Structure 1
Amino acid sequence: MYKINVNTTDTFKLSKDTLKALDSVEISSDTYHILHENTSIKAKVLKSDFNKKTFKIKVNNNTYNVDIQDQLDQQIEALGFEIGASRQVNDIKAPMPGLILEITVKVGDYVKENDTLLILEAMKMENVIHSPREGIIKSIKVNERETVEKNTLLIEFES
């Protein structure tokens, strides 16, 4: 069962069987022609975020913001957790004791998610520490060739 919120005001529940029963034809990669109860509907996906399950859809010249929740999303919500919520990471700590081999960023640098921040050698292995988010480097608390313990603060992001 899917829970579908439209424009944050209307909520519908649809089963997979109901969705399969729709008579739809894909006209182009983002445009569909749908027949529902002998009514012709033209739908165009204007914007989509598959990770957040949000869509902006134009249906017969009306635009709708649509949020879709599958069964897992509904269970998470019922337990009182927020779907898609994540704590913003503002600092990077050493995941293990080791030696800082290289620092690839400097204070004030803008980094993207997954950019390399530094290389930590632990047990003769080089561990690349990547940025968990986009942001600006606020401070670097360690130096190259410095040994660190587990949970030592390495880098801080601006909030």
Structure 2
Amino acid sequence: MYKIKVNTSHQFEVTTKDTEALDAIESTTNNFHVLQNNKSVKATILSSDFNTKSYTIKVNNNTYNVNINDALDQQIEALGFEIGASKKVNNIKAPMPGLILEINIKVGDEVKEGDNLLILEAMKMENVLTSPREGVIKSVKVNQGETVDKNSLLIEFE
């Protein structure tokens, strides 16, 4: 079960079955043709941030800010915990299975919070994984063109 919030005002619940039934075809990178209730819809992913699970999506010339919370996010929220700035992230793992399309860093690079680290293609979407903090890259555990499983170690920080 996913909880989806659109423009911080509308909230929807979507099941895995709902996502599997979605009739969407990627026409070009980040551009999709969707059929819903026998109506054609054009959708474009303008930006995505996996750390905050937020996306900016343009649907038929209207732009929406979308946040997606999975079961773990919902449990954390129910317990009253938030992922705070004080949490120090020492490694980045694959949020889902996919293909490493591009690696933008190398060992020893200094990165700032928000810097693009790599691009992971999953479910016909290119997902830019950004740095959750400032730091130095200790190791890069994947290569471009490699397929990874969910929770595979991708990058370690010093």
TM-score higher than 0.5: yes
Report the TM-score range of the alignment, normalised by the length of the smaller protein: 0.5 to 0.7
TM-score by length of 1: 0.56
Separation of aligned partners in 2, 1:69 and 1:85: 16
Separation of aligned partners in 1, 2:85 and 2:12: 27
Deviations 1:1-60, CA, capped at 9 Å, x for gaps:
000000000000000100110111001110000001111110000010012110000000
Check if 1:50 corresponds to 2:71: no
Deviations 1:72-128, CA, capped at 9 Å, x for gaps:
00000000112x323277xxxxxxxxxxxxxxxxxxxx9842239xxxxxxxxxxxx
Structure 2, gaps ≥5 residues long: 89-109, 113-133, 138-156
The alpha-carbon distance between structure 1 residues 45 and 86, as it changes in their structure 2 partners (threshold 3 A), is same
- Indicate the RMSD between aligned Cα atoms, in angstroms: 2.2
Match of 1:13 in 2: 13
Separation of aligned partners in 1, 2:84 and 2:47: 21
Check if 1:72 corresponds to 2:60: no
Of structures 1 and 2, the one scoring higher in RCO (CA 8 A, sep 6+) is 2
Q: Which amino acid aligns with 1:38?
A: N
Match of 1:85 in 2: 84
Secondary structure of the residue that 1:52 maps to in structure 2? coil
Aligned match for 2:136, one of 115, 119, 123:
115
Structure of higher CA gyration radius: 1
Separation of aligned partners in 2, 1:71 and 1:48: 20
TM-score by length of 2: 0.56
Structure 1, gaps ≥5 residues long: 90-109, 117-128, 131-159
Secondary structure of the residue that 1:24 maps to in structure 2? strand
User: How many percent of aligned residue pairs carry the same amino acid?
Assistant: 52
Once superposed, which parts of structure 1, at least 4 consecutive aligned residues long, lie more than 3 Å away?
none
Q: Which amino acid aligns with 2:76?
A: I
